[in-house]
Structure 1
């Protein structure tokens, strides 16, 4: 029956099923450890022969419920919650990459991800080649090497707002026999389910729309269970692991090999786990995901249409607008809405834009995006300031670009605030 639930029902009731007499609402299990009566049972837990919680760095009942809810929403075989979205991006690649590995990534990534790939991963021997997502499949395939392990993409670019051509990238990944990893933070699984379009691994910064209230930092990795790791390219998943007495993840865990390995090796060793309290708060936020994403998308389209007609606005960028380059892709992959972020430029450039941002009264200037409150940000001088001008342009960022995260307030109030600030 659960497989037949709609996404709204999964958001509310997925992941936690209380038995008779147990709490109706998911409890906060604020404990680092768990009691057992049998020594052999604990040994079986450590040997991965039995399911159960032994230490909250690796698993926790509250965190596990959140993981299962997101997994149900995305339609995967398992999920792993992390301490942040950056941790999710990092572990998603480190699970199948090491020194000497190569990754293809689209150039329009979020600035923090771009910096992680271009600088930090390079220091540990992982090379990342950034490609323009608008290139043809043939041009992108020219950048592949014999040691290429994955393609990393975003369903909606941040802040370029380009919609991923899933069909093209899924075909490339299949032809090159590497997994397609998709950061689905902006649409969330309510607006877009990447596994249905050929993705193999999905990640989120749960800090954004999944939590939805700017209260809890976190991330999550979801395994689609739809990639064949037995190609000789991924010995860390297929070959015996000496740290678990020669266990092979593909032989022992089948379709869930990738996500199990991420938990029992990377989370075990790096320790970038989500706290039970953050999982508890994130789960509460997730219960209204379907309602919020509808309102975010509706409000953002209305604000975009207003800004298009404003005399002090130079340009507007939102995939829900018919003149947007990604409009056709948005209609194909985001039929329920194009999420809650738009970008635009004020006539007069950066100085005029700065005056506009300082004049807002309802929308706040914050280094965040994707919660119930409307906010603005200047990426070139804030989130993407570590990048060179050329790198910023590659990410779709111009000096006058203002990113707007449209909240779920009354749209009339949002429009009035933007109108008075623009004037």
Structure 2
């Protein structure tokens, strides 16, 4: 190939992959093995001492997973990536590198309900404390910064409401505070938004959603932007201080602009153990090959459905950044000009009962707790994904009692609209 930088669709198909050197297989093989044979004792020692790159044990790394990691890093514009068992696992592994007991991180209030629950409750047992900020009020992030703050966490497109977050503005807050910005880019995918281009230092995904795209495999990934200096101020000893597990290596000093990805692998994945199955990696890789085609169809369909709902008499409001009237439309134009995503919410005039009734009447939409599938999906967050929150918190997170969340698939838009029309009635 020439010196031309490959385009997004080319990277989605080819990045990280080569024909298998032994068999010539074109598709990336599934290396369904627990372990890998060493060349000799010196080779084994160099691998275990981080003096050479290679495969040891699938809990730490696997050739199938490595192709997935390189592909997503290329699509996001990062220096390196690490695939793990789920999006939740990615969040645990990331924050383990950054936080010590008693430390804090700031998180946007508008997040996936499972993340809110994880941050609020599960992380307490690690001594990690979340401080909430309003993504519609950038100053609230500034006010939340304390000497214990070690990171800021946001979603590029927030789940469930589909609101767009001002990544650049919040990145500025992080830079001023000397802490990294972590962006969950699950709902956007790098096809719509590349957070690193707007100041993110770390990107995470639930690979289960749009990247895999077919509702058949769970996975997560961490992408290192290579933009943060982990040695400044002694805030991040996992990266800047000598690691006794590896004969005193300082990861920042040794690995430079992909030190964070290395730390996640050799300090997080190695010891916590949330390894991604090579089979799931293969399935997700296959999904990524059609990502640009699917995402554009998702977005085009979502806009058509949102426009239909906005004109229906049973609908009180539609929250979709792709609508010109939406409060996030300007941010959508800035960050996601190809489309505002395929997940959004709308509220019904009949409140909680109307939301539950609608879900039961839909026929083409699948009622389940997932997004980013080729199939169109529906859920009533207040009774499911956000049910652990009190009413005030549900409203703040965009999951009030009258709210229904849709994840629009790649079916014919006319069929989706007809299904909603019959379920809503007149």
Q: Specify the TM-score bucket, using the shorter chain as the normaliser.
A: over 0.9
Distance 1:265 1:201, change over 3 A: same
Please report the TM-score for the alignment, with normalisation by the length of structure 2. 0.97
Distance 2:348 2:166 in 1: 29
**Which residue in the other structure is 1:189 paired with?**
190
Residue aligning to 2:423:
421
Q: How is 1:137-286 mapped onto 2 (pairs within 5 angstroms)?
A: 137=139, 139-231=140-232, 232-286=234-288
What CA deviation, in whole Å up to 9, does each residue of 1:284-340 have, x standing for no partner? 111100000000000000000011111221111101001111110000000111111
> C-alpha separation between the residues in 1 aligned to 2:109 and 2:3?
38
Of 272, 289, 292, 2:291 maps to: 289
Q: Secondary structure at the match of 1:195?
A: helix
* CA apart distance, 1:73: 0.2
Match of 2:353 among 348, 351, 354: 351
Specify the SS of the correspondent of 2:121: helix
The CA distance in 2 between the partners of 1:94 and 1:394, in whole Å, is 27
Structure 1: distance between partners of 2:395 and 2:306: 22
Q: TM-score, normalised by structure 1?
A: 0.98
Q: How does 1:93-172 map to 2 (within 5 A)?
A: 93-137=95-139, 139-172=140-173
Q: 2:54 aligns with which of 45, 52, 55?
A: 52
The alpha carbon displacement at 1:359 in A equals 1.1
C-alpha distance in structure 1 between counterparts of 2:197 and 2:354, whole Å:
43
Give yes or no for contact 2:138–2:170 (8 Å, CA) kept in 1.
no
Distance 2:253 2:4 in 1: 26
What is aligned with 1:334? Answer: 336
- Cα distance 1:208–1:3, how it changes in 2: closer, same or farther (>3 A)? farther
What CA deviation, in whole Å up to 9, does each residue of 1:352-380 have, x standing for no partner? 22222111111111111110001100111
Mapped partners of 2:250, 2:312: distance in 1: 60
Provide closer, same or farther for how the CA distance between residues 3 and 191 of structure 1 changes in structure 2, counting only shifts above 3 A. farther
2 CA distance for matches of 1:260 and 1:3?
29
Deviation >2 Å, runs of 4+:
none
Specify the SS of the correspondent of 2:345: strand
What is the alpha-carbon distance in structure 1 between the residues aligned to residue 228 and residue 152 of structure 2? 13
Q: Partner residue of 2:368?
A: 366
TM-superposed deviation, 1:14: 1.2
Gaps of 5+ in 1: none
Of 389, 405, 408, which aligns to 1:406?
408
RMSD: 1.2
